């Protein structure tokens, strides 16, 4: 109901004469779109980086920007259900692209368990796991069911109920989305099609370089355990072969139950956990409740990059910033 995907745009009506007015949902998407638009324009950010996209209610000025947009790039209703309703009600005439639903997008299933790994267990990383992590299409016919059950992958890259929506932290997804963003903007603004395509290609190269640097930064941290505030980092873990012991909240950031907090507290007391990561969008008091008596270091890890300068360089900076924060905490 809320998904206006790229194929439909290829058969849209007459092109508009000027650079499209573009809005995006979260800062990482704004950064990707900004890198494709380059000097032609700046996409507007609807959800401030310090707010949670799971629960943010648009202010009147943000709603007006949405209403006036020619193109909307957003993750999808799985991440921002309120924004989905707003798009349907006040921006139905815009070209709205839900990136999470684009063909080729890598999906991982949302995790419901309190603990994702055994405390103090061995870390068995595949040789290619810390690299590109691109194995959801490999041996599709023989291993599709195995991939989905054991790793939470959708081998065909299609949406399924219960998928983790934090898919922008997969560098493979970001590269895929850049091409789709360029094609969408070229459909709306054919005079600048070559510029959008060239900018997307250059942005993909910068992301590949950032991935290589992040792999080197994270290499010493691959045998460390971490606990995160909410389960937003699975795609980053998968890209770089990291181990997260568990999360205080589920991927939709709902408040944790007392039993969940107790289980995590007990796990921390019995595990050599390198760090517990807080997020600036959420109440830090729950971190204190889990780490009480455990002596585990606490640091900040932000999947939205609230402290990173917005613009075309945002996404590579986010990937490297997260790597530095994880490695620094793991090193003590």
* d(C-alpha 264, C-alpha 267), whole Å: 5
User: 45-51: long-range contacts (C-beta < 8 A, 24 or more apart)?
Assistant: 45/310, 46/74, 46/83, 47/80, 47/83, 49/304, 49/305, 49/306, 49/308, 49/310, 50/280, 50/281, 50/306, 51/281
pLDDT of res. 103: 96
pTM above 0.85? no
Which regions of the chain carry the CATH code 3.40.50.1980?
6-104+163-211, 140-160+221-330
User: Which residues face 230 on adjacent strands?
Assistant: 249
* d(C-alpha 166, C-alpha 75), whole Å: 8
Superfamily of domain 140-160+221-330: Nitrogenase molybdenum iron protein domain (3.40.50.1980)
Q: Assess contact for 97 and 5: CB atoms under 8 A.
A: yes
Q: Which two tokens stand for residue 77?
A: 């209703």
What string of pLDDT tens digits covers the 332 residues of the chain? 444 444 444 444 444 458 999 999 999 999 999 999 999 999 999 998 888 899 898 999 999 999 999 999 999 999 999 999 999 999 988 899 999 999 999 999 999 888 887 665 555 544 444 333 343 433 333 333 333 333 333 333 333 458 999 999 999 999 999 999 999 999 999 999 999 999 999 999 999 999 999 999 999 999 888 899 989 999 999 999 998 989 998 888 888 888 988 888 888 877 777 789 999 888 788 888 888 777 788 899 999 999 999 999 999 999 999 999 999 998 87
Write out the CATH class of domain 6-104+163-211. alpha beta
Of 213, 222, 192, whose CA–CA distance to 16 is shortest? 192
Q: Assess contact for 132 and 64: CB atoms under 8 A.
A: no
């Amino acid at each position: 109901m809320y998904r206006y995907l790229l194929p439909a745009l290829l058969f849209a009506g007459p092109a508009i004469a000027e650079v499209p007015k573009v809005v995006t949902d979260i800062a990482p998407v704004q950064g990707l779109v900004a890198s494709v638009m380059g000097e032609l324009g700046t996409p507007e950010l609807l959800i401030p980086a310090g707010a949670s996209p799971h629960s943010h209610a648009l202010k009147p000025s943000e709603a007006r920007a949405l209403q006036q947009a020619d193109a909307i790039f957003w993750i999808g209703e799985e991440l921002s259900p309120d924004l989905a309703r707003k798009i349907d009600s006040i921006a139905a005439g815009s070209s709205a692209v839900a990136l999470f639903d684009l063909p080729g997008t890598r999906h991982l299933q949302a995790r419901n368990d309190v603990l994702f790994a055994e405390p103090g267990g061995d870390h068995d990383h595949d040789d290619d796991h810390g690299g590109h992590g691109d194995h959801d299409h490999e041996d599709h016919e023989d291993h599709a069911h195995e991939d989905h059950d054991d790793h939470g992958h959708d081998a065909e890259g299609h949406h399924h109920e219960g998928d983790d929506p934090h898919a922008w932290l997969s560098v493979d997804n970001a590269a895929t989305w850049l091409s789709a963003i360029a094609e969408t903007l070229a459909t709306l603004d054919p005079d600048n099609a070559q510029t959008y395509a060239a900018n997307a290609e250059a942005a993909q190269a910068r992301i590949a370089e950032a991935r290589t640097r992040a792999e080197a930064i994270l290499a010493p941290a691959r045998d460390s355990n971490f606990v995160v505030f909410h389960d937003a980092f699975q795609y980053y873990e998968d890209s770089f072969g990291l181990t997260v012991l568990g999360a205080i909240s589920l991927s939709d950031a709902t408040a944790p139950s007392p039993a969940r907090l107790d289980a995590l507290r007990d796990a921390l007391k019995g595990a050599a956990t390198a760090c517990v990561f807080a997020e600036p969008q959420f109440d830090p008091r729950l971190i204190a409740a889990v780490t009480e008596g455990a002596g585990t270091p606490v640091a900040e890890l932000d999947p939205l990059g609230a402290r990173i300068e917005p613009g075309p360089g945002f996404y590579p900076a986010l990937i490297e910033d997260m790597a530095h924060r994880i490695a620094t905490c793991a090193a003590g």
